[in-house]
Amino acid sequence: MADHKIKRFSTYRIAEHWVHMAIFIVLVVTGLSQKFYYLDISLWLIFHLGGIDYVRLIHRYTGIIFLIAISMHVITGIAGIAFRRWKPTMVINKKDFIDAVYNIKYYLGMEDHPAICDRYSYRQKFEYWGVLIGSIIMVFSGLILWFPVFVTRFLPGEVIPAAKVLHTNQALLIFVIIALWHIYNSIFSPEIFPIDKSIFTGSISRDRMLREHPVELARMEGRPIDEMQ
């Protein structure tokens, strides 16, 4: 049983993750090189990508691809819940905040075991919604900066500098979340080091399911949670 693998993600979800990762890398490289244009690495990147005009074009059209990818993700989720009876397992609920407090107590030695989580833990949910909402903000602020004349026909001119500040600062925030939180949890965390292979296989071991998602495992095996081992 220890080596038994449990499927968690479909081929579609695996491919979607890789597409989003590729888009993210291109947007980070072309976006941050414009923000920090005075750095040597930025100058090198801009030069080898054909100049600032090409960097801007790459960034903007990759942003359009990103808009399509985000839209597909949201529409697929809504359609799945509405028509295919998917469970809204990524929705944040009261238990997630209780689990967050419980785990703080666990880390301080006040509890003898970590929070018992279902399909997604509170950390995964908080990260997911932070990135998703941040990405939507990035898309709309980017469109405002791309078409400032059109936007100011309907909105006051102050929207443009506000969008610029929002776009660049939100980009840094998402970069930090993914670089420091998601990459750590997917690669450097002692529990999964050297890498979380579910990005390639869509499956994780039963031992890891028992450790990280015992409620879901109990439901899958039709056993009470207190009998799981």
Q: What is the mean pLDDT of residues 126-149?
A: 91
pLDDT of residue 130: 86
CA distance 31 to 171: 8
Across the chain, mean pLDDT equals: 89
Strands (E), the chain: 5-7, 203-205
CA distance 6 to 137: 35
DSSP at 74: H
Q: Is the dihedral of CA 58, 135, 191, 228 positive or negative?
A: negative
Task: State yes or no: pLDDT of 153 exceeds 80.
Answer: yes
pLDDT of residue 3: 62
Q: Which residue has the tokens 């018992």?
A: 116
Q: Among 94-98, 115-119, 173-177, whose mean pLDDT is lowest?
A: 173-177
**Exposure letters 46-55 (e unless 16+ CB within 10 A, then b):** beebeeeeeb
Chain centroid offset of residue 23 CA? 12
Residues contacting 36, CB < 8 A, separation 6+: 42
Question: DSSP secondary structure string, 27-55?
Answer: HHHHHHHHHTTTSHHHHHHHHHTTSHHHH
Residue-range domain boundaries for the chain: 5-227
pLDDT digits (tens, 9 = 90+) for 32-86: 899 888 999 999 999 999 999 999 999 999 999 999 999 999 999 999 999 988 8
Task: State yes or no: pLDDT of 218 exceeds 60.
Answer: yes
Specify which of 96-105, 125-134, 187-196 reaches the highest per-range mean pLDDT.
Answer: 96-105
CATH homologous superfamily of 5-227 equals: Transmembrane di-heme cytochromes, Chain C (1.20.950.20)
Q: How confident is the model at residue 229 (pLDDT cuts 50, 70, 90)?
A: low
Task: State yes or no: pLDDT of 2 exceeds 60.
Answer: no
